[in-house]
Chains A and B, each alone.
Chain A
Amino acid sequence: MALTITCPICGKRNGYEFKFGGEEKGPRPDEKDLTPTAWCEYVHMNKCVAGVQEEWWFHKDGCGSWFKIHRDTTTNLEMEVPKVKHPAAKIGGGKSDEQA
């Protein structure tokens, strides 16, 4: 099935109306004490997740909005916003909410 994307203004539309804007990488790093290496990593390095990732899209053929969606890169389908996993899952390797 072709990719469809839900624009916050125009609603669900054909993916060809949009331009990919890259992975969501969090806020721009503070320029104070920013090393070239750290900046290079922020700009160029990607996680390339095989699964659900948060990413930016631009509605170029529509309203011109920039917005974020979650997309499963293995199926190329837009996903609902995933549930927030329990912090312990990241830190201690414990079970997430979904696993529990």
Chain B
Amino acid sequence: MKEIQRVSPVGFKSTPLKTIKRDNWEVVMEYSGEGDGPWLVDLSHRPRFDLQDSNLEAFTPFGLTIPKVPGDCVLENGVLVNRMNGTQVSIYNLEAQDISMPDESGYTDVTESTICIALIGKETFSICEKLTALDFKDPQKKPPFLFQGPFSHVPCQIVTLSKEGDKSGLVLTCSRGYGRDMIHSIQDAGVEFNLNPAGETRFTNWIRIGSKIS
């Protein structure tokens, strides 16, 4: 039986040093010349789900309680749950292993229809400032929190995971078709800050530290 090939729309010109095969995705764990940050990490292979229901209080996706206020998020055990509005929630598996979509109705697997990238490290928000008017450093917002708005003129979901200086970072998703141009614009904006592509290992190490400080 032939196996499907799952291909991320995100591509970097850097040379991969270490890759693995996971769920038919070719995942780059490390790139050459990753530098000292900031870093741009492709997480499009990480499972993502949308949940829609008029009674969201009845759901506990992966054992997590859904936040009540739109814009609020919960990050536990590597799973991020974002309240979008009164009836919708987006769920990103950023780190947890072996997670599959729940059998209940209301869930949609959006892994293949969106891209997911992480922008982490120092000057993260200096790069964002060149691409969007969204205020990631709003003192009234405590990470993790969700923005739904334009980033480089593309409607995105952006979750700020940390606002703490060199440990800053966010995760961004948007429609898959924007993938190539989104990467191009972020990399272009990040040239003056020495932004480099990084592998999944870099993000995994970051989120384990970042989740403790945010």
- Judging by beta carbons under 8 Å apart, are A17 and B149 in contact? yes
- Judging by beta carbons under 8 Å apart, are A14 and B155 in contact? no
Which A residues lie within 8 Å of B67 (CB)? Answer: none
Q: A79 in the interface, Cβ–Cβ < 8 Å?
A: no
Query: Chain A: how many interface residues by the 8 Å CB criterion?
Result: 12
Which A residues lie within 8 Å of B150 (CB)? Answer: 17, 61-62
Q: B113 in the interface, Cβ–Cβ < 8 Å?
A: no
- Judging by beta carbons under 8 Å apart, are B85 and A60 in contact? no
A-B pair number, CB within 8 angstroms: 29
How would you classify the secondary structure of chain A's contact residues: helix, strand, loop or mixed? Answer: loop
- Judging by beta carbons under 8 Å apart, are B149 and A62 in contact? yes
Which B residues lie within 8 Å of A65 (CB)? Answer: 85
Complex interface bits, B73-115 against A, C-beta within 8 A gives 1, otherwise 0: 0000000000011000000000000000000000000000000
A window 43-96: CB within 8 A of B: 59-65
Bound form: Cα–Cα A64–B70 in Å: 12
Bound form: Cα–Cα A10–B149 in Å: 8
Which A residues lie within 8 Å of B194 (CB)? Answer: none
Bound form: Cα–Cα A41–B159 in Å: 45
Which A residues lie within 8 Å of B155 (CB)? Answer: 60-62
Bound form: Cα–Cα A61–B155 in Å: 5
- Judging by beta carbons under 8 Å apart, are B149 and A61 in contact? yes
Q: B12 in the interface, Cβ–Cβ < 8 Å?
A: no
Which B residues lie within 8 Å of A10 (CB)? Answer: 71, 147-149
Q: State the Cβ distance, B23 to closest chain A Cβ, in Å.
A: 29
Besides A9-B148, A14-B133, 15 other CB < 8 A contacts? A9-B71, A9-B85, A10-B147, A10-B149, A13-B149, A17-B150, A61-B149, A61-B150, A61-B155, A62-B148, A63-B70, A63-B84, A63-B85, A63-B148, A64-B85
- Chain A residues with CB under 8 Å of chain B are 9-10, 13-14, 17, 59-65
